[in-house]
Amino acid sequence: MTAVRKLFDAADIAKRLDELSREIAAALPRDVLVIGLLTGSFMLVADLLRALNTAGMTPDVGFMRLSSYGKGRESTRRVELIGDVPDVAGRTVLLVDDIVDTGRTQAFARQLLGGCGAARVAACMLLDKPTRREVEVTTEFVGFTIDDLFVVGYGIDYAGQYRHLPYIGTID
């Protein structure tokens, strides 16, 4: 396994999620439908749901699986839905993903959810890499803004490895 240089440890992430949950609670309905994008967001969704509960919210949860990376370090620039879309008709949805990079996945997911009848779609991304943006998107809730680094950990993988790490780091 390659060495991982830590960027944000578990305490940094927990602190930021507490802050984000208060921002989300002030802006969205208590019963927001949280839609996590698999597989990268699974740790984030679990921790965010607990933080939202502490902030007084009672969110529902669902998941969608989208793919644009495969096993590489670069996006294929083609986003595909794998499986079904949860029932979002008439709901306020909080789209949750690990990272916004090119913006293609978030734009695709927002359009898909809107087309399935979501009343409103807001986005929460743990990491934002604005220098990589190819499609203009608005992310209402951002955990951390980072440079153009390849990151792993806290659900984010490289070729199926490193998801288990409780922190976010970079590999060279």
Give dist(CA 111, CA 65) in Å, integer: 15
Q: Confidence class of residue 112 from pLDDT cuts 50, 70 and 90?
A: very high
Q: What is the pLDDT of residue 70?
A: 54
Residues 6+ apart with CB under 8 A from 56: 25, 30
Q: Please give the positions annotated as active site.
A: 101
The verdict on residue 21 lying in a domain is: yes
The verdict on residue 112 lying in a domain is: yes
Q: Which CATH number belongs to the domain containing residue 96 in this structure?
A: 3.40.50.2020
Is the pLDDT higher at 83 or at 9? 9
Give the full edge-to-edge strand order of the sheet including 141-145.
80-82, 60-67, 33-38, 92-100, 120-128, 141-145
46-89 tens-digit pLDDT: 999 999 999 999 999 999 998 765 555 555 567 777 878 899 99
Reply yes or no on whether the pLDDT at 161 is more than 70.
Answer: yes
Q: What is the pLDDT of residue 69?
A: 55
Residues 6+ apart with CB under 8 A from 24: 32, 52, 55, 57, 94, 124, 141
- The count of domains in the chain is 1
Residue 103: which domain range?
Answer: 9-149
**What percentage of residues in the chain have a pLDDT greater than 70?**
94
The verdict on residue 104 lying in a domain is: yes
Residues 6+ apart with CB under 8 A from 106: 95, 97, 100, 123, 125, 135, 137, 139
The verdict on residue 38 lying in a domain is: yes
Give dist(CA 28, CA 55) in Å, integer: 12
The verdict on residue 161 lying in a domain is: no
Reply yes or no on whether the pLDDT at 131 is more than 60.
Answer: yes
Q: What is the pLDDT of residue 84?
A: 84
Q: What is the pLDDT of residue 156?
A: 94
The verdict on residue 155 lying in a domain is: no
The verdict on residue 97 lying in a domain is: yes
Reply yes or no on whether the pLDDT at 13 is more than 80.
Answer: yes
The verdict on residue 134 lying in a domain is: yes
